[in-house]
Chains A and B, each alone.
Chain A
Amino acid sequence: MEKLDLAELGLRAVNRRLQGREGAEETAFEVTGLKGEHAVAAGLMSPISVTLKGHVGYYCAGMNKQAEIVIEGNAGVGLAENMMSGTVRVKGDASQSAGATAHGGLLVIDGNASARCGISMKGVDIVVKGSVGHNSAFMAQAGRLVICGDADDGLGDSIYEARIYLKGEARGLGADCVEKEMRAEHLEELAGLLAAAGSDADPKDFRRYGSARQLYNFKVDNVDAY
């Protein structure tokens, strides 16, 4: 395991090392000296494991492919934005737009996530052990968002085909987001996601939400309104 002190090396040098651009046989890294810097461990492309020992700023682990990244602190705006694959786990809280536009992989938030968690998600799985802020899963296209706590206003607003599993209460559902039946395949899917995230929550305590599909197409009946 290789130790990297960001305070000493600087952000660019640390990211270059993690991205394997300086020739890398090492597959495990620990980064210290973090003070909320932006874009830490962004653009990683290989199946390495990285532990970030402290708080990180905006866009941490953005665009991640294959790497397994653990943040032992809180994360700023846009955590794991546009992640393609791999795993990102934050032990503290995540700020707004966690997992935004992410295509794949698993994002686990042990604490709470704030507004717009999973906005426009395109295939990522997100498990939040705490609660999420307003407009989470806004325009979410594919993937699963699991919320073990509560959701603030506008959950799943204008959602496409992403699935939301919520254990607590939603303060309000967004446009075109409705509760749906929890069938056996959903319980099984959720059990798998909870296990992957290391949560012992019971899938039976969750409800499922998704798109009512009423916003998909223009309705000819409304033509007079234009």
Chain B
Amino acid sequence: MSEQKLQSQTVQTTGHAWDGDLQEYNNPLPVWWVYTFYVTVAFAIIYWIIYPSWPFGKGWIGGLSSITYVNSDGETKTHSWNTRALLMEKLNKADAEQKPYFDKVASMSYEQIAKDPDMNGFILSAGKALFSDNCAPCHQQGGQGKIGFFPNLTDDDWLYGGTYAKINETITNGRHGYMPTFSEVLSPEQIDDLANYVASLSGIGHDAAKAAAGNTLFHSDTAACYYCHGADAKGRQVIGSANLTDKVWLWADVPGADTAEGKVAAIRTVISNGLNKGVMPTWGGRLSAEQIKVLTVYVHELGGGQ
């Protein structure tokens, strides 16, 4: 044993022996390492005190740190630190940071907003976010709409008008497009004549004889198309009736058909079935006036603003 002890002066061991000869070398840790370990212990204890830590009864120990926030009902609440409260606090902060911009939006005219480079940047980012959240599900991400379902907001054709005031009115109050069913009133031949006439208005291949008959029918009191679409077939924005003379189609998928017959057939379908689906919801109660104003400028800037 004393011999072993002498040897151990060259290679130090912890002095314990297991199974007779199994020993453990003692390579000491540097002392700074140990102090670092103590610091981490102290850090952990301070952390327990400040932040939520241990389960306690039915709840947990909340810690000293707390977060005060205003919830969606406008009540001020104070809660011990947690990520939900932190999120609420950050949302409050983000709202507060956006407020000066929205206040500025409220105080400026549409034309002023559109010409101010700083506000333009805000409209492009805030408007895009609002549009993505609220409008994109129907009108698509870029506002290009979907033929047969939702109007394209990037072209220059507007059912109800594309001025700032009209766009705002449309967003705030919503719209409901309607066209009566003609399959019960008119014969299939008459509908075919009308479809050829409508096709001729926008330069699509058509049967000239049928189109001439359709022209008469369009302006007669039998079909009374002119009543809504106007004698010149250019539509009436007051009631949101479509301009039939331009190259833009919403309900009849004319661009989607390859042949002239197919294009006429697409128009025929709309005339015989009518439609009752051009429903734009009301956003007045859901978005604030400033948000709607931002959206108005954004939609106007999508390319179709008048």
Asked whether A and B interact, the reply is no
